[in-house]
Amino acid sequence: MLRQTLRLVSTWKQLRSLTFTHLSDWQVGLALEFLTLPNITSFEISSTVFGEKRYCPDIAAHEFEWVVSWLNATPVRHFAIDYWKVSQENSHLIPRFYDAVANCRTLRTFSISNAILHGWNEYNFQNPLSINHFQLKNCQFDPTCLPTLFSGLQHSRTRHLSINNDVRESYLGVRGLRILLGALPLTNLTHLTVQGAMLADRGCFALAEVLPSLNLTYLDISDNHISDFGVNPLAQVLPSVVRLHELVMKHNFLRMRGIVALILDLRQNSLEKTNLSDVQLAFDRCSRPEYVIKVDYGKTGTGALLEKSPSGDA
């Protein structure tokens, strides 16, 4: 079916963008052949569907060449791929892929998920990245990967960085977070997402130390095992974090005490009652007028979304 589709769309001279969703795992390589079409500047594979054995075939060398040639020869704007699996025998080709990504000056959004980044720790970007939004999801990203990332982010155009990880044996952790935060002043990042990194409460303490001095306008630290104990230092510095417009802490282990702490330190007010309905009322009544604060009561715990309203001045 994909080859028939390829023959059909090859006649569409105005085609610029291709998106594949819910492909079977064995079809990923076939979909990459569409990169041989002229004028494709946006390409995405998402939500790959696995069979019972959850076996993802390796990307063949010639399929890999299609990707590299496309990035080198085309003014690519967007590239996102789900389940990028290169065999160990072809891993020597991966640096060419990194070079192609780095040298594609038109590339604005880049996302790779559920992949092993062969040789990432040994790679060094020679030039700042042109990518505006850079996302790595479930790529076994740990602190040893950070130097390579920083070599591309320093003085780059990248504003959005997303690191999402569900691989429990490989995560950023507090040590990686401290390294990341220490390097942020050398970047132009304004949006930072660090999910599933096992930051826990110690990560919040690390964030609280540097958050007022950063240029972040958006911070998402969902799915990080954060409790009320970790929220307290964050809540205390929030009034002085004038640039931050949105703080997302979904799917953590916040209770009423942690949510109320966010309110109290924004308003320096006090609450007499602390049941769930009063917490919601507190958001409506007591938060500073330039903030919109929402509570998310989920099965995995209570989360908070702090968002600065468009009319806010702070």
pLDDT digits (tens, 9 = 90+) for 133-167: 999 998 877 788 889 999 999 889 999 999 998 75
Nearest to 253 by CA among 222, 284, 288: 222
% of the chain at pLDDT higher than 90: 29
Q: Is the pLDDT of residue 1 over 80?
A: no
Answer whether residue 25 is part of any domain: yes
Answer whether residue 52 is part of any domain: yes
Nearest to 197 by CA among 162, 172, 222: 172
Q: Is the pLDDT of residue 76 over 50?
A: yes
d(CA 35, CA 38): 8
Pairing of strands 133-137, 291-298: unpaired
Instruction: Please count the structural domains in the chain.
Output: 2
94/235 same-domain check: yes
231/298 same-domain check: yes
Query: Which of 23-27, 109-113, 293-297 has the highest mean predicted lDDT (pLDDT)?
Result: 109-113
99/158 same-domain check: yes
pLDDT at site 169: 58
CA 282 to chain centre: 31
Answer whether residue 148 is part of any domain: yes
Phi, psi for residue 109 in degrees, rounded to 5: -130, 130
Name the residue range of residue 187's domain: 87-308
Single residue among 70, 86, 102 that ends a domain in this structure: 86
Single residue among 53, 86, 119 that ends a domain in this structure: 86
pLDDT at site 308: 60
| 20-29, 90-99, 161-170: range with lowest mean pLDDT | 161-170
161/242 same-domain check: yes
Tokens of 144: 């040893």
- Section 244-269 average pLDDT: 69
Please state the three-class secondary structure of 81-114 as a single string. Answer: EECCCCCHHHHHHHHHHHHHHHHCCCCCEEEEEC
Q: Terminal CA-to-CA distance of the chain, rounded, Å?
A: 55
CA 112-307-258 angle, 5° bins? 95
Nearest 10 degrees: Cα torsion 168, 173, 177, 180: -50
60/92 same-domain check: no
Name the band, by pLDDT with cuts 50, 70 and 90, for residue 274. Answer: very low
Answer whether residue 288 is part of any domain: yes
DSSP character for 288?
Answer: -
Q: Is the pLDDT of residue 7 over 80?
A: no
Q: Is the pLDDT of residue 298 over 60?
A: no
199/295 same-domain check: yes
16/99 same-domain check: no
Burial of residue 1 (CB within 10 Å: 0-12, 13-18, 19+) is exposed
pLDDT at site 232: 84
Burial of residue 203 (CB within 10 Å: 0-12, 13-18, 19+) is buried
Distances (CA, A) of 103 to 68, 112, 135, 147, 261: 11, 17, 17, 19, 46
63/143 same-domain check: no
Answer whether residue 313 is part of any domain: no
Single residue among 55, 86, 117 that ends a domain in this structure: 86
Question: What's the whole-model pTM score?
Answer: 0.82
Answer whether residue 46 is part of any domain: yes
What string of DSSP letters covers 1-66?
-HHHHHHHHTT-TT--EEEEES-BGGGHHHHHGGGGSTT--EEEEESPBP-TT---PPPPHHHHHH
Q: Is the pLDDT of residue 313 over 60?
A: no
pLDDT at site 293: 58
Q: Is the pLDDT of residue 312 over 70?
A: no
